[in-house]
Amino acid sequence: MDLRSQTSLLGAVLSLAVAVMVLLRPRKRRIHWLFVWFALTVGAWYLTAFFARWSKANPFWERLNLGFAVLLPLVASQFFRAFLLADSKGAALLSRISVPLVAVMAAAILSPLYSSPLLGALIFVYVFALLGATLALVREAALRAPSRFDRARLNYLAWVGTFAAIFTLAEYLPYTGLDIPPVGTVLILVFLYMLAESILRYRLLDLYELAAKLLGLTALSFALAGILWVLVWLDPGNFYLHSVAAVLVLLIVFEPVYGWVEQQIASFFLRERQDIERLATKIRSSLSNATSLPDIIRAVIDPLSESKRVTKGSLYLLDTNQSVFRLVGHVGGKPIDHLEVASARAFFERLQKEGALTIENIEREREERRELKDSDEAIRLEEILATMNELATSLALAIRSESEVYGLLCLRDERLKDAYTPEEIAVLRTVSARIAASIESLRLYERLRDRDRLAALGEMAAGLAHEIRNPLGAIKASAQFMAESLATEGELNKESLVEFVDIIVEEVDRLNRVVTSFLDYARPSPHVSEARDPSGAIEKTLQLIRSELGSEIELIAEVAQELPPVRIDPERLRQVLFNLLLNAIQAMEGKGRLRVRSLARQIGNESWVEIQVSDTGPGLPDQVKDKLFVPFVTTKEGGTGLGLAISQRIVSAAGGRIEVRPGIDGKGVTFVVLLPAFQSEHAAEVGMERRAQEAQSEAIEPRGAPIGLITER
């Protein structure tokens, strides 16, 4: 069996296999039946050509082969007219002239003239002229296609079909004395396969990788055939040796050549997909730094506004009642403000099931359902289309976790139909999943934050109740004693009356101090826009604290005269330092060394003012170290535990922090107040304001970290 007979048999088998692949589709429309007819005709033409060669030019097989060759242009024109939905004059004319020409040619084949060279030449011209006209219709449809992917698909089919026709035509060159490999059959099979993929998947080039791999393998197949053909042409007598040599050459160059071909094709086809991947990467990167819902919205909307692949985009989030999707951000024209779940039930059920919807696929499915007389599903699809048009989107992505839907991401490129391929949609679905993960993490963090806030409020309430209960108990006891004395003795002596009245006044004052301190703690610290010199506040605090020093406490002051200005109210700073110094004096119980030191410090690229208050007292008890910032926690008898908590808030509101370090010579403890130095740059102002706002928002959220102001000891 010669090479051409083998090629014809292979072409027949593969053509029939492609026809069966489409024939096994569950719901077949008219386009599917026309393709099956076309593929079967191609397969029959190859099969009769094989039998004609195998039977040594049997007239029956030769006539049958010529008959299928004549029938092929008619079947092709009918299929492509339905495939292209072509109603042009050229398509109509081609359909009209094909039928009488087929009849004339069939009559001639059945007559004794079938073996005439003139009839063979006429059939040859007729077949290739009509197939060429059919391919011209494909090119015309590509120029009129509204979608760039439809244009790419049709242009690809037109070029593959043209090359297949040319190489099939070249297979007749042996009759002129020139013999070339039968590569036309390979191209025709590629053409049939891509047609089948096109009608089964709606679009051919949705899967760019498929096209790249197919073209790469086709190029390598031609390379192998070319090497083998050249070797046989040079030395016809050693076919086996030449085959081994061709395969060895191909194995050596397979990886680099295949990789290069695939890379070139991918770079040609995937340019716009790379834009989508860059968009997805930018959104994911921005989301990684988002710590609030506004941050998440900006992380999505800002990259969309910069993308060349999105002319309209919108982000909807589901409200707490799970009943309405509300618009939280958009680019391009503004869509509707909200969408009720109940009024768009069909859309949400389909979106929740599939995760992503494109308006073009829904439209195609609707037409298919109408053709199959499935009116109920067609109406349902019409409702989905109405919702997507209302949202002004061609691609809707569900923002969801495994158990919950959070919102919608809607995208549209108004310049094109079929703007997003399935591969690009798969990339964008990773973006919607990342948005869902960010929202889920934010909600979890807020729940934990609320829990911590409630716990802090509980501890504060317990402490406040304790601080109020003690003076109330003393007041009540004094009042009861006075009432009992009046009831039994009729009167109280003056000394007893003064004593109990003093107790009541003292405890009322104590209650007033507790309430005032609590209000100071809850009141936000005022923002200071002007820079102040901290040296004056430090000097004045030292003057005030000297009256509290005992004879056995040594005060060591190391105050720098020139410090950078800071943004904190001097009165507030004196309050903080006085509280720290008073705590240190009380911790040392009238004996020890107290050191105050101030200096300018550079931390990274930022300048800070550092104020140290050190003592030689007993240090911090272990039970206090883990609750440094909790109000009402104190080890000092009669203390409220609020003074230092207020100081902590003051320092944090100014953008600073307080650190705890070892004391003098390893004894006691050192409290370091760090305040950011004033910088004239706008970035420094914004940074400090942000830190102050964060500190105020976390006013009642104590943290068990060793950075911050200590509680009273």
What are the tokens at 693?
């706002």
Q: Are residues 84 and 217 in the same domain?
A: no
How far is 137 from 43, CA to CA, in rounded Å?
23
Q: Is 559 left (phi over 0), alpha (psi -120 to 50) or beta?
A: beta
What is the residue whose two structure tokens read 């102001």?
Answer: 709
> Looking at residues 148-159, what average pLDDT do you find?
71
**pLDDT exceeds cutoff 50 at 683:** no
Give the model's confidence band at 468: pLDDT under 50 very low, under 70 low, under 90 confident, else very high: confident
Residue 702 falls inside a structural domain = no
Residue-level pLDDT at 273 = 67
- Asked, for residue 131, whether it belongs to a domain, the answer is yes
Q: In this predicted model, which residue has the larger pLDDT, 146 or 278?
A: 278
Residue 710, domain member (yes or no): no
Q: Are residues 558 and 485 in the same domain?
A: no
Confidence of residue 685 (pLDDT cuts 50, 70, 90): very low
Q: Are 683 and 582 found together in one domain?
A: yes
Q: Which residue has the higher pLDDT, 295 or 228?
A: 295
Residue 707 lies inside a defined structural domain of this protein: no
Are 243 and 299 contained in the same domain? no
DSSP alpha helix (H) spans, 171-310:
184-201, 208-234, 239-269, 271-287, 293-306
User: Quick one: pLDDT at residue 316?
Assistant: 95
Same domain, 497 and 546: no
Q: What is the CATH number of the domain that holds 464?
A: 1.10.287.130
Mean pLDDT of the chain, nearest integer = 76
Comparison of pLDDT for 573 and 214, the residue scoring more: 573
587 contacts 615 by C-beta, under 8 angstroms? yes
At residue 123, the pLDDT reads 77
Does 529 map to a domain? Answer: no
Does the pLDDT of residue 543 top 80, yes or no? yes
Enclosing domain of residue 23: 3-206
Question: Is the pLDDT reported for residue 36 higher than 80?
Answer: yes
Q: Is residue 9 in a domain?
A: yes
Give the model's pLDDT for residue 480.
Answer: 80
Reply yes or no on whether the pLDDT at 585 is more than 80: yes
Is residue 348 in some structural domain?
yes
What average pLDDT does range 314-334 have in this prediction?
88
The phi, psi pair for 562, rounded to 5°, reads -120, 105
Helices (H) and strands (E) in the chain, counts: 21, 11
Neighbours of 578 (CB within 10 A): 19
Tell which of 403, 422, 440 closes a domain: 440
Residue 174 sits in the same domain as residue 133: yes
68 residue type, one letter = F
Q: What is the mean pLDDT of residues 231-251?
A: 65
CATH number of the domain enclosing 397: 3.30.450.40
pLDDT in the model for residue 610? 94
pLDDT at 595: 92
Percentage of residues of the chain with pLDDT beyond 90 = 11
Contact of 6 with 181, CB cutoff 8 Å: no
Give the domain-ending residue among 440, 471, 500. 440
Q: How far apart (Å, rounded) are the C-alpha atoms in residues 217 and 257?
A: 10
Within this chain, do residues 280 and 212 fall inside the same structural domain, yes or no? no
Instruction: Indicate whether 48 and 171 sit together in one domain.
Output: yes
Domain match, 512 and 578 both: no
User: Is residue 405 pLDDT above 90, yes or no?
Assistant: no
Q: What is the pLDDT of residue 317?
A: 93
Looking up residue 649, the CATH number of its domain turns out to be 3.30.565.10
Q: Which of 177-191, 539-553, 659-673 has the lowest mean pLDDT?
A: 177-191
Residues 244 and 190 reside in one and the same domain: no
- Phi and psi based region of residue 299 (left: phi greater than 0; alpha: psi -120 to 50; beta: remaining): alpha
pLDDT tens profile 367-393: 888 877 888 888 999 999 999 999 989
Residues 578, 665, single domain; the answer is yes
Q: How many domains does the chain have?
A: 5
Convert the pLDDT of each residue in 244-283 to its tens digit.
Answer: 666 666 666 656 665 665 555 555 555 566 778 888 999 9
Give the model's confidence band at 709: pLDDT under 50 very low, under 70 low, under 90 confident, else very high. very low
Residue 410 has pLDDT above 80, yes or no: yes
Residue 697, pLDDT score:
46
User: How large is the average pLDDT for residues 322-348?
Assistant: 89
The pLDDT confidence band at residue 682, using thresholds 50, 70 and 90, is: very low
Over residues 500-514, the mean pLDDT reads 80
Residue scoring higher pLDDT (420 or 703) = 420
Residue 711 lies inside a defined structural domain of this protein: no
Instruction: Report whether pLDDT(701) > 70.
Output: no
Domain boundary among 476, 500, 522: 522
In the chain, % of residues over pLDDT 70 = 71
Each residue's pLDDT tens digit, 297-318: 999 999 998 888 888 999 999 8
3-state class of 337 per DSSP? Answer: coil
> Residue for token digits 């004609």?
52
| Predicted local confidence at residue 511, as pLDDT | 81
Same domain assignment for residues 199 and 227 = no
pLDDT classification of 500: cutoffs 50, 70, 90: confident
CATH number, domain containing residue 188? 1.20.1070
Is the pLDDT assigned to residue 104 strictly greater than 70?
yes
pLDDT level of residue 684 (50, 70, 90 thresholds): very low
- What's the pLDDT at 224? 66
pLDDT at 571 over 60: yes
Question: 521: part of which helix (H) or strand (E)?
Answer: helix 494-522
